[in-house]
Structure 1
Amino acid sequence: MSQPLYDSDLTDKEWHLIEPLLPAKKPVGKDREVSLPDVLNAIFYRADNGVKWRNLPRDFPAWRTVYGYFRLWVRLGIWEQINTILVQEVRTAQGRDAEPSLVIIDSQSVKLGQKGGKNTALMVTKR
């Protein structure tokens, strides 16, 4: 990988952690025309800066390509795996165990569902 252009770009170490989680090249068909690290950097840039897909800088692959990979990886559950790996890496770097030993949830941490009762939306009845 080249020098990072943006603060959100992957480091080589992060890329080596994430690379095995991504789908392998298809055995048949056209080769990939984009670099997966560039696609990931574009997705992380968007998340870090809150820009629209169409407003990704021209340094990245085409926004439709980036969005296509993002949606595919959402469907395949790859983002959860990436999050798990990176959280474990951060915990280890901080001198903590990779997995938390205790989880505490209080009533303020859990969002409550809609309060009971009938839906109060305006109802129109035929006469």
Structure 2
Amino acid sequence: MWTVENRVRYNRDQLRYPSDLTDAEWSLVEPQIRPAKPGGNRRRVNVREVMNGILYVLSTGCQWRAVPKDLPPYPTLFGYLDLWMYDGTLDDLHTALYDQCRTQAGRNPEPTAAIIDSQSVQSAEKGGRGLILRAMMLGNGSRARSGTSWLTPRG
């Protein structure tokens, strides 16, 4: 409910962009971000600004090249987004925030019930997302390197 205190809590007028993280939000996100790998160069980018840039693109729907100049460059933003998807950082962040929301609501962090409909079952039987991604990747290599080259009719 939009009470006076809730309006104050969710007011984002003091932020540079409405998609920027507040200090309280960043304190929840920061522990989930993995540190830079040892042995390489120091991380020269502010990770909070990277997260703000990614959230800006996601909230506005703008093109990567249209990211404002006061945020990190778009190749940096996209590179971190790609890395965090690959190494599981985004999954870990989602899980941590989801568990915290459930705990604040007085519920068990682990759901105890699930609803399965016929669409979900059909999708799981066919292999779902993982199988689709693997099938898409197989066609990208040359015939000589492809594990499916014997399936491709020659002619």
Answer whether TM exceeds 0.5 for this pair. Answer: yes
Cα deviations across residues 23-70 of structure 1 (Å, max 9, x unaligned)?
213433432221101101111121222222111122210111111111
1:13: how far off? 3.2
The 3-state SS of whatever aligns with 1:57 is: coil
Pick from 29, 41, 66: which aligns with 1:30? 41
- Please identify, of 103-112 and 48-57, the stretch whose mean Cα deviation from structure 2 is larger: 103-112
RMSD: 2.6
TM value normalised by structure 2: 0.60
Q: Percent identity?
A: 43
Larger helix share, 1 or 2: 2
CA distance in 1, matches of 2:89, 2:30: 11
Contact 1:73–1:79, Cα closer than 8 Å, also in 2: yes
Tell me, which stretches of 5 or more residues in structure 2 are unaligned? 1-13, 127-154
Classify 1:99/1:4 alpha carbon distance in 2 versus 1 (closer, same or farther; 3 Å).
farther
Query: Structure with the greater relative contact order (CA < 8 A, sep ≥ 6): 1 or 2?
Result: 1
Q: Partner of 2:100 in structure 1?
A: 89
2:59 equivalent to 1:61 = no
- What is the aligned counterpart of 2:60 among 36, 39, 49? 49
TM-score, normalised to structure 1's length?
0.71
Q: Which residue does 1:76 correspond to in 2? A: 87
| Structure 1: stretches of 5+ with no match in the other structure | 114-125
